[in-house]
Each structure stands twice: as structure tokens, then as C-alpha cells.
């Protein structure tokens, strides 16, 4: 009798465990009973159901990162190898519609398919080199906007499209490197020329200053000033105790030292 009771309790316990599930944070539970989906999904917590006629489909509503390797067409007809991340999430209240209209494999059915189409349409309007320059941000945003226009009404939010790595064709990559090197050389030469121009301007200004100073001095040396300075020189010579010979015309002295 006790053995039979234990078996009944065990069966009831197993049945109880199999008739409930836990919906974690970052996901919702969609209940399907006899093939029909319940319109309102369950939020995080314990959810009970009849395992014989019902099932709980868990749908993640947190941000999902899908990484894709894809060959993108360019405006000039080249194929650019790329590694791209798509960040998206499902609107919780739309989880039932997603499962009902698309199915649990919605990522392959709509997310990746819509991305491939949007990426091809957008990238075909840009040159291959644009995917490797500052234009990359515009390409990412345009792809994301195009995807959102097709998926928002279906319950998806496209958070971002990120071009993580771009591999340009070898010939184009070499041409871009050569162009960048040429631009750097041109900028360096421009810097040198500007420096030389600044130095030439500095010398011109310095020469003009010396010229103006000499002009001012020359204009200030009148005959009277020269004569006055000569008289002062005579006075200083007359007060010296050293023997000397002075040759003068009465205006400017010429001093001959004792050793000459």
C-alpha cells in the first residue's frame, strides 16, 4: 500500500513539474493550446499549462546579435567581402503575431532575408572604397532604416547594422593605399612650403625693420649734431694724460695713438 502511494505521489510530482515552466527575464512565453495561440504572451515568471494539450513557446525579447558574412555588390560592380552584425529585438506584445504569422524560425525567414535584400540595394549605390571610409556610417544607417521600414510593423525593432570588417579587392585596396600615401606626401610638402613662406616673410619683416632703423638714424645725423659730437670728443681728448697726435680739419678728429 505504501509503495503504491509513493508511486502515485511520484507520478503527481512529475506531472506537476511537466505542467509548468519558467519564463526568464528577456523573454516571453506564448501558449499554444490544441494548435491555437493565446493572444497575450506571458511575462517572466512561472507559467502553468496542461502538457497534454498545451505548450509554451519561449520567444527572446532581449537584444539579439546576428553575425553574417556576406559579399556586397558595389556601384562599380565589384564584390566586397564583409562581416556584418545585426542588432534587433522583438516587441514583447507582438511575440504571438511573430510566431503565428512567421514561425519560430523568424530569424532565417525575415531578419536575414530582409537584410540581404536591403544591404544589396543600399551598397549598390556606393563605391567599394566608400565602405572603407567615413561613408560607412551612412551605409549602416541606410541599411538599418530600410530594414526597419519592412520589419517594424511585423513586431521587430532593428537597433543597428554594423559593418564590422570590410575586405576590398586586392587591386582596389592597393590603389587606395597609394592614394592615401600620395595625399600624405602632398600635405607634408604643403607644410614645408608654408614653413618656407613664413620664414621668408619673417626675413622680409626683419630686413624692413633694419632698413627703417637705419633710415631713422641717417635722418637724425645732421651737420650740427656731428659737429657737437666732435667738440665733445675734443674735450675728452684734452683731458687725457696720454700722449697722442690729433689730425683734424676742425670738425672731425682723427686720433693717432702713440704706437703709430
DSSP 200-222: HHHHHHHHHHHHHHHHHHHHH--
Q: Does residue 166 lie in a domain region?
A: yes
- What global pTM score does this model have? 0.58
Indicate whether 39 and 97 sit together in one domain. no
Q: Does residue 142 lie in a domain region?
A: yes
Domain boundary, last residue among 173, 202, 235: 173
Q: Which three cell numbers, joined as nine digits, stand for 232?
A: 665733445
Indicate whether 109 and 86 sit together in one domain. yes
Q: Which residue range forms the structural domain that includes residue 41? A: 16-60
Whether the Cβ atoms of residue 90 and residue 151 lie closer than 8 Å to each other: no
Whether the Cβ atoms of residue 129 and residue 105 lie closer than 8 Å to each other: no
Indicate whether 68 and 169 sit together in one domain. yes
Number of domains in the chain: 3
Q: How confident is the model at residue 86 (pLDDT cuts 50, 70, 90)?
A: very high
Q: Does residue 200 lie in a domain region?
A: no
> Mean pLDDT, to the nearest integer, of 135-140?
89
Indicate whether 70 and 164 sit together in one domain. yes
Indicate whether 70 and 49 sit together in one domain. no
Q: Which of 71, 65, 68 is nearest to 83 (CA)?
A: 68
pLDDT digits (tens, 9 = 90+) for 29-84: 888 888 788 888 888 777 776 777 888 888 899 999 999 998 888 887 778 888 99
pLDDT, residue 155, reads 93
Please give the distance of CA 130 from its chain centroid, rounded to a whole number: 14
pLDDT, residue 16, reads 43
> Mean pLDDT, to the nearest integer, of 167-188?
66
Q: Bigger pLDDT: 76 or 19? A: 76
Q: Does residue 1 lie in a domain region?
A: no
Long-range contacts of 71-78 (CB under 8 A, 24+ apart): 72/119, 72/120, 72/123, 72/131, 73/120, 73/123, 73/124, 74/123, 74/124, 74/126, 74/127, 74/128, 74/131, 75/124, 75/125, 75/126, 75/127, 75/128, 76/127, 76/128, 78/128, 78/168, 78/169, 78/172
What sign has the CA pseudo-torsion 77, 78, 81, 82?
A: negative
Indicate whether 159 and 107 sit together in one domain. yes
Whether the Cβ atoms of residue 121 and residue 146 lie closer than 8 Å to each other: yes
CA distance 101 to 106: 9
Q: Which of 104, 108, 86 is nearest to 164 (CA)?
A: 86
Hey, which residues does 256 pair with through a beta bridge? 245
Indicate whether 139 and 47 sit together in one domain. no
Q: Residue 173 pLDDT > 70, yes or no?
A: no
Give the other-Cβ count within 10 Å of 72's Cβ.
Answer: 23
DSSP code, position 42:
B
Indicate whether 115 and 148 sit together in one domain. yes
Q: Which of 95, 126, 131, 90 is nearest to 111 (CA)?
A: 90
pLDDT, residue 65, reads 94
Q: Does residue 83 lie in a domain region?
A: yes
Q: Does residue 115 lie in a domain region?
A: yes
Amino acid at each position: 500500500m505504501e509503495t503504491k502511494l509513493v508511486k502515485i505521489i511520484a507520478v503527481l510530482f512529475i506531472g506537476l513539474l511537466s505542467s509548468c515552466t519558467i519564463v526568464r527575464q528577456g523573454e516571453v512565453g506564448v501558449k499554444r493550446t490544441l494548435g491555437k495561440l493565446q493572444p497575450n504572451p506571458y511575462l517572466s515568471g512561472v507559467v502553468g499549462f496542461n502538457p497534454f494539450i498545451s505548450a509554451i513557446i519561449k520567444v527572446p525579447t532581449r537584444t539579439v546579435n546576428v553575425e553574417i558574412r556576406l559579399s556586397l555588390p558595389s556601384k562599380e560592380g565589384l564584390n566586397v567581402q564583409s562581416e556584418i552584425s545585426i542588432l534587433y529585438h522583438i516587441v514583447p506584445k507582438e511575440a504571438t503575431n511573430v510566431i503565428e504569422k512567421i514561425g519560430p524560425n523568424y530569424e532565417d525567414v525575415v531578419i536575414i532575408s530582409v537584410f540581404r535584400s536591403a544591404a544589396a540595394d543600399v551598397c549598390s549605390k556606393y563605391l567599394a572604397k566608400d565602405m572603407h571610409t567615413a561613408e560607412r556610417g551612412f551605409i549602416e544607417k541606410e541599411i538599418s532604416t530600410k530594414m526597419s521600414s519592412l520589419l517594424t510593423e511585423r513586431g521587430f525593432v532593428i537597433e543597428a547594422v554594423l559593418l564590422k570588417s570590410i575586405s576590398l579587392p586586392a587591386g582596389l585596396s592597393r590603389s587606395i593605399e597609394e592614394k592615401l600615401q600620395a595625399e600624405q606626401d602632398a600635405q607634408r610638402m604643403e607644410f614645408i612650403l608654408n614653413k618656407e613662406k613664413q620664414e621668408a616673410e619673417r626675413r622680409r619683416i626683419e630686413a624692413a625693420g633694419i632698413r627703417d632703423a637705419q633710415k631713422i638714424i641717417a635722418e637724425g645725423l645732421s651737420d650740427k649734431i656731428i659737429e657737437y659730437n666732435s667738440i665733445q670728443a675734443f674735450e675728452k681728448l684734452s683731458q687725457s694724460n696720454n700722449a697722442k697726435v690729433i689730425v683734424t680739419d676742425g670738425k672731425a678728429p682723427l686720433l693717432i695713438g702713440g704706437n703709430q
